[in-house]
Amino acid sequence: MQLADSSRVCSWKHAFALDNPIRRLIHDPKKILGEYIKPGQTVLDVGCGPGTFSIAMAKMVGESGKVIAVDLQEEMLQILREKAVNLGLESRIFTHKSDPDRIGVSLKVDFVLAFYMVHEVPDSKAFLKEIVSLLKPKGKLLIVEPKFHVSATAFEKTIEVARQAGLRPICRPKIRFSNSQLLSL
């Protein structure tokens, strides 16, 4: 198993910077994801951190849907679980602690969100291949990377790796401070 390079990974100690009212205003999960996620779906939030998006995704999939929230850091998952319980959403959110080089879930999903995390993954080729293996037919992946941290060139390389893994680019939604790409199987 490959070890996570801790200098690349955003520590759980920054959880508040990732999930607070200002962040949710800048990156409003409903505006960003509302078009792609429907009631009853099974969706994956990979590199979920403290769950800014997982919580909103759980509301979008409704009582009959499922959110699989995956992160390397158990502390991030614990923060998310506490929020889910407080909001009564715990029956829709399934947390999973992954390895740096393997997501390791077995359910097939309709939609995957990889928000501000692909640049932290040690082997993006293997990572994107695994995502392809998890998507249902016509399943979609939204990759969002921070402009302040990931150059346009590095972002384009990631999208090329995603193409080679079998994903088809669809569109580039406008997301503040970010480069983004929606892809489909």
Ligand X SMILES: C[S@@+](CC[C@H](N)C(=O)[O-])C[C@H]1O[C@@H](n2cnc3c(N)ncnc32)[C@H](O)[C@@H]1O
Interacting residues with ligand X (CB under 6 A): 9-10, 18, 46-49, 52, 70-73, 76, 98, 100, 115-117, 120-121
Cβ proximity to ligand X: between 15 and 168 the closer is 15
Minimum separation from the CB atom of position 87 to ligand X (A): 17
Minimum separation from the CB atom of position 25 to ligand X (A): 14
Minimum separation from the CB atom of position 121 to ligand X (A): 4
Cβ proximity to ligand X: between 46 and 161 the closer is 46
Question: Which of 87, 95, 34, 27 shows the shortest CA–CA distance to 66?
Answer: 95
Q: Which residues of 155-171 are buried (b: 16+ CB within 10 A; e: fewer)?
A: beebbebbeebebeeee
CA gap 19, 48 in Å, rounded: 11
Cβ proximity to ligand X: between 41 and 95 the closer is 95
